[in-house]
Chains A and B, each alone.
Chain A
């Protein structure tokens, strides 16, 4: 059984201009020892979904279920949720500065985190644990730097300190929301390596939210592609990158400069993402889709199994046979995806 099973999650925000439908019927599952990548562009609802599960969205209308082991996180009160956060679920955000308090020493913040949830652990023990964790995430001289303030850390070190903090209570699930977006590639490589090692060591389930398809390809086991608040396609990473079905997934991959030769024209997805207040009828992607059919404008497709594979689903009315789908791709967008070349 999955560690976290989210089903039919809906999140909307009432605003003076109308109701923003941020998440519309999203389901996914995170399993111990595995990384689930949620990819999507701005406004796809990928962050809102996880924030809602952790009770961090205010003023939102929420429905659905989020079963964490045997408890429904969406039905919990704030107090119970707080103890789940940190103790059983760790969270990392894009901007580590917003999560590390600038006036307290890094080590002290980790110690507080530990002692808040486990009052019986002595201060000295908690501090020793903080040093150990900072070492684990690759902070040099952790016994000395544990007494530093956040501003004395570089961006990459802060993000790693955040990971140390999130991991301080050995959570079963780590939610990482764009953890490396603000970082340089070489630092990103360090941080991703730390996350992989921690997962190997502790068997943590990781939900990685990102817009970077490269990061997903590198670390995610399973992938959910989101657009306009819903899952467009779900599959393991090999299927997503090698045999995708949904035109949006295909469009995302084709937009990447990593595909296609040097100085060749890129193949962007035409148009703009839709307004979440005023979604197009039918499939939300239909106004930008090169394969659009009459049906797409009227009926929103559910997730279908692609090629009879229960782990690969796609919300699209196109043929579910991958061979036929590839033939269609050749006909409509011309040619297959070229294989990516290392930059």
Chain B
């Protein structure tokens, strides 16, 4: 027995040593100057975190700079302390600029940014914190939502669904949702049809998939809903599973182009996470931080090509890319302005929509 144990142990130690060597070999690379501290929902969420990380990665690789991501402990239940730890870890490892997506990171970022005035912070989906080493990027999600809602109704769908993460407290998700309604209303008025929308923040407070969400969404599809806008990271998985049970069921993706995930995805309401993170990093490395970014909140939209629908993977047939581009230009020029402020009651005030809230 002892013999076996000692053999097993020595093998374990040998493997451990090998992996240690291997990781040393990798660590010889550059210090990770660019750090990404993820929001709830993990790095490879095919959405928000991943888009941000890909922007940082693209810039870093193009300019031969070290980069690294940090995931705060405790996953979807991460606390401010977990985020602070992750940011401090990044700084200890030599980060000069920390990109942190998600408005939940405000408190942690404020704390760490005050303690480390030399380190710069990019607050994606956030706001200016009154600190010179923080810059914020905000998107006009309502524009992407608007385009998605418009496209869905123009394509011929009249029964839509929207399921959002964050329990109704996440401003970006709320803007997506309200924009979606406005777009559907506009298209319904144009086509002269009546459109029903099921609107819910019921499951997915932590942007994660659950059996409840899957059951709820399949009930929607069973009830005749044709397209569901899955607005929140991993919640997509639940909607996808539900859609798998219905032949005609369709999905609208969010944040990044999710058509690679399933042929059921008709389009995605995207925001230019990758592009804008790359741009901000470029400004930082060109020495323009103080002049252009310090304590600034950029509000990016169609005019900056930061919102919209992906045209490279266009799959709609009744609503064409040309029609889309025409509408996009109107938003860009300001002829069509989707409202960003979400009212108390989203069910009221529509002429062609019937919005039912599920709560």
| Genuine A/B complex | no
Chain B residues proximal to chain A, CB less than 8 Å: none
Chain A residues proximal to chain B, CB less than 8 Å: none
